[in-house]
Each structure stands twice: as structure tokens, then as C-alpha cells.
Structure 1
Amino acid sequence: MSKRVAVILSGCGVYDGAEIHESVLTLLRLDQQGAQVQCFAPNVEQMHVINHLNGEEMPEKRNTLVEAARIARGEIKDVREARMEDFDALIVPGGFGSAKNLCDFAIKGADCSVQPDVLQLAQAFADARKPIGLICISPAMSARIFGEGVECTIGHDADTAAAIEKMGGVHKPCDVDGIVEDTNRKLVTTPAYMLAKSISEAASGITKLVDRVLELA
């Protein structure tokens, strides 16, 4: 029987939403492995909108769910509709939207909180001991989801690793093509574009993460 996987997106675009390459690589590998996938996103306003051509903030507002629908080709639902019981695993790609729209780590660092609907769903998976994969900056939410002692990686960035440690997480350095697995919590993490210099480098770790999450499921 094929595995059922929920994927949470955080908008569309690396600087203010979900990282598109990471999201597509995740969805591609899940499809290659025969998984049934449903994308979700919180139905909330993005923290801000960034012009991806010049990096400047734009004077407009956008909805995280509406923007994420671009990546999912419209096949996406409000995260409040997600039921842990309907899925075998959960994966969250990165991008600054993960640290801006799924939580406020980009602003508050170690004092961050996770968007309530996202937190409720992720903790339901954690409590049920169903595997979770967090990619790129998304592991910054690990301690909020699992509590103190959770092992994860964002690669080698010292400041982000220090914030994770301050929240009670245990950061494990990792290269772009590797994964870190907290076997007790069934959490799998990989650095992706925290380190990747190309889409193929990002794919190397994401492929391993997806495969391992499906094995654990």
C-alpha cells in the first residue's frame, strides 16, 4: 500500500515563502516513490512580500495559502483541514516562509513560536510517533514541536544552530548531501539550501530525507 504524506508549504518563493526547488524536489521524490501526497498551508497573511528580482520588500499583502497553491498547481488545502489520522508522515520544505509564515523564527530567533494550526498538526504527528521530515530552515521549529533534546540539523550555520540549542534542541552538523535522524522521535532533517549551491546539491539530501521518511512510515 502506498504511503500517504502531508506536505506543508509556506507560500511561494525563497525570500518570503516556500523554497520552490525544495518543494518541487520533495514532491517529485514522493511521486517517484509512489506516495500519495496532499499539500497544505496555513490560511494566513504572509509576514511580508519580497521582490525576488531585487530583494526589496514590496508594499502589498499576499496570503500564504493562495501563494502556496502556485507550487501545488491548486491542489492544496488549509492546514486546519489536515487530520493526522489520514496520513503516514509529514514533510515541511524550507525557504524563508518557513521561518516567517509557519513560525516567527526569522524575527524572534530562539524566542519564536510556531503558527498555531501548523504546531497542532505537527505535534499530532509527533505524539502519534509518525515520521516528520524538516528541510532547510524548517528544523528551527523542532524544539517547539518535539520539546527539549530533539536532534536536528540546519547544516553548519553557527548562529542558527546556537538558536536551536537555546530552544532546547541538539544541533548536529551535517553536509548538504546528508541527513540527521532522531531515531527516538522519528524526525529526519537535511540542510538543503542552507548549504546547497545548486539544485542538484539540494536534491542529494532531500532525496535521502524523503526516502528515509517513507521507510520510517
Structure 2
Amino acid sequence: MSKKVAVILAGCGAYDGSEIHEATLTLLRLDQLGIAYRAFAPDIDQHHVINHLSQEAEEGETRNVLKESARLVRGDIQPITELDADDFDAVIVPGGFGVAKNLCDFAEKGDAMSVLESLKAPLAAFKEDAKPIGLMCIAPVLVPRLLGDGISVTIGRDPSVAGAISAMGGLHKSCDVDDIVVDLEHRVVTTPAYMQAQSIGEAATGIFKLVERIDEMIDQTNK
């Protein structure tokens, strides 16, 4: 049986969407391993639009998360409301500030955050079916709200974000950029990526490890 992974995107660009290197490296490693993938994103307006030259918000400009995410996958994407865990062996969420602004409101509210409603049911279904879930960069902040308390994750070594994860009921583990944290019981895999990476090569090492571990976990599930 061929493997298939859902990839959840949050726009296009490090400061207001999905981090492009993280998304691309994820898709690259999946493809290299012979794993099919399908991208999904919410069909909503972005929290705001950031000029990636100045890193300042563009007043009066709006963009759609689904349409922006489509740029990363050459248009081959579906609304997140169409994501059915039964059709996939695992799910991966790349990082980028869009996760903290469009998939949830962590960027504004910290540990008082709430998660986008359309994200809750699909992710809960993956957990209920014991299918692997991978998250990178800032995306692990979603775990306590989406998957429950007591799940080990990493965002690297940022004390403020780690503290917020702990305050929400998560278990944060410090981690180097080139490594991963695996919660075997809950089948969650995380890596710091650009929360720590200083180059695309540094980000790639941990991201590739994450995808490879997800691949191994799928094999264990399908035995």
C-alpha cells in the first residue's frame, strides 16, 4: 500500500504564512522517500500581510490563506474542511508565523490562545487513529490545544515559547536544531527548524529527520 501524508499550510512567507523553506524541504523529503502528499489550508483571510522586505505590516492589504498556500504547491491544494484523516497515513504541519497568526492566535495571545475551529476535527482524528503527527518550528504550540495535555514537543530553546507550551499543559523538551523530539505514546514528532536554524542546511537536517521518523512510524502502524 502506498503511503500518503497530509501537509497543512498557513499561507506563503515566513512572517505571515508558512515558512517556505520548511514547507519545501518537507515536500522534498516526502517525495524522495516515495511518499505521496496532499496539501490543505484554511480558506480564510490572513491575520495581516507582512512586507517581507521591511518586515512591516501592509496597511489595507488582505490575502487569502488558501490562495497564498497554493503558491507553495503549484495550486495543488484543498480547503482544510476537506481533510479526512481516513485518507492519509500521517499529517505534517510546517512552521512560519502564519501558524501563530492564521491557524491560531498565539502571536497575539500567547498561552491564552485559541485554535482555528476547522483545524480541530481533522487533527483530533489523526490522534484518535494513532496516526503520526509532525510539527516544526512554531507549530508545536498547537499541540496542547489540539491534542491534549502531557505531550512532549520541542520548539528548540526559546524560553518564552517553551514556557507558554508548559502553561498550556504541554511538555517542552529542549532540542538542537538538527534533532527531533518524539513522543512515542502520542505519536507526535517535532523539530525546531527556523526557531533555531541559521541556514536552510541547518533547517533541512532536522526536517529530514522528522519526515524520516514519520515514515518509520507509518510502517509500524501498517504492520
- TM category (shorter chain) comes to over 0.9
Q: How does 1:1-217 map to 2 (within 5 A)?
A: 1-59=1-59, 60-217=61-218
Residue by residue over 1:39-71, the C-alpha shift from the partner in whole angstroms, topping out at 9 and shown as x without a partner, is 000001100000000111002000000000000
AA paired with 1:182? D
The count of residues paired between Structure 1 and Structure 2 equals 217
Instruction: Give the letter aligned to residue 161 of structure 1.
Output: A
TM superposition shift of 1:27: 0.2
Question: The residue matched to 1:5 in structure 2 has which SS?
Answer: strand
Q: How far, CA to CA, are the matches of 1:105 and 1:121 in structure 2?
A: 20
Report the alpha carbon displacement of residue 119 of structure 1 after superposing the two structures with TM: 1.6
* Deviation digits for residues 159-213 of structure 1 (CA, Å, limit 9, x no counterpart): 0000000000000000000000000000000000000000000000000000001
Which residue in 1 is equivalent to 2:221? none
* Uncovered stretches (5+) of structure 2, i.e. residues with no partner: 219-223
CA distance in 2, matches of 1:62, 1:183: 38
Question: Does the Cα contact within 8 Å between 1:176 and 1:202 map onto a contact in 2?
Answer: yes
1:157 positional shift:
0.1
Which secondary structure state, in structure 1, belongs to the residue aligned with residue 206 of structure 2?
Answer: helix
Secondary structure of the structure 2 residue equivalent to 1:37: strand
Measure, in 2, the Cα distance between the counterparts of 1:101 and 1:124.
Answer: 21
Give the counterpart letter for 1:73 in structure 2.
R
Distance of 1:127 and 1:163 partners within structure 2: 25
Kindly state the Cα deviation for residue 118 of structure 1 after the two structures are TM-superposed: 1.1
Aligned-partner residue type, residue 56 of structure 1: E
Provide runs of 4+ in structure 1 moved above 4 Å.
none
SS of 1:101 mapped into structure 2: helix
Q: What is the SS of the residue equivalent to 1:99?
A: helix
User: What is the CA–CA distance in structure 2 between the aligned matches of 1:107 and 1:122, rounded to whole Å?
Assistant: 23
CA distance in 2, matches of 1:212, 1:3: 14
Q: Are the aligned partners of 1:126 and 1:145 in contact in 2 as well (CA < 8 Å)?
A: no
- How far 1:2 moved relative to its partner? 2.4
In the aligned structure 2, how far is the partner of 1:44 from the partner of 1:149?
Answer: 31
Identity %: 57
Q: 1:82-111 deviations in whole A, cap 9, x for unaligned? A: 110000000000000011101111111101
The offset of 1:145, in angstroms, is 1.7
The one-character-per-residue Cα deviations of 1:137-171 (angstroms, maximum 9, x if unpaired) are 00000101221101000000000000000000000
State the distance in 2 between where 1:146 and 1:98 align.
Answer: 16
What TM-score do the two structures reach when normalised by structure 2?
0.96
Which amino acid in the other structure matches residue 145 of structure 1?
A: L
| Aligned-partner residue type, residue 149 of structure 1 | G
Asked if the contact 1:136–1:192 (Cα under 8 Å) also holds between the matched residues in 2, the reply is yes
List alignment gaps of at least 5 residues for structure 1.
none
Take 2:106 and 2:129, find their aligned partners in 1: how far apart are those partners?
25
Structure 2 CA distance for aligned equivalents of residues 134 and 62 of structure 1: 24
SS of the residue 1:7 aligns to: strand
Q: Which amino acid aligns with 2:172?
A: H
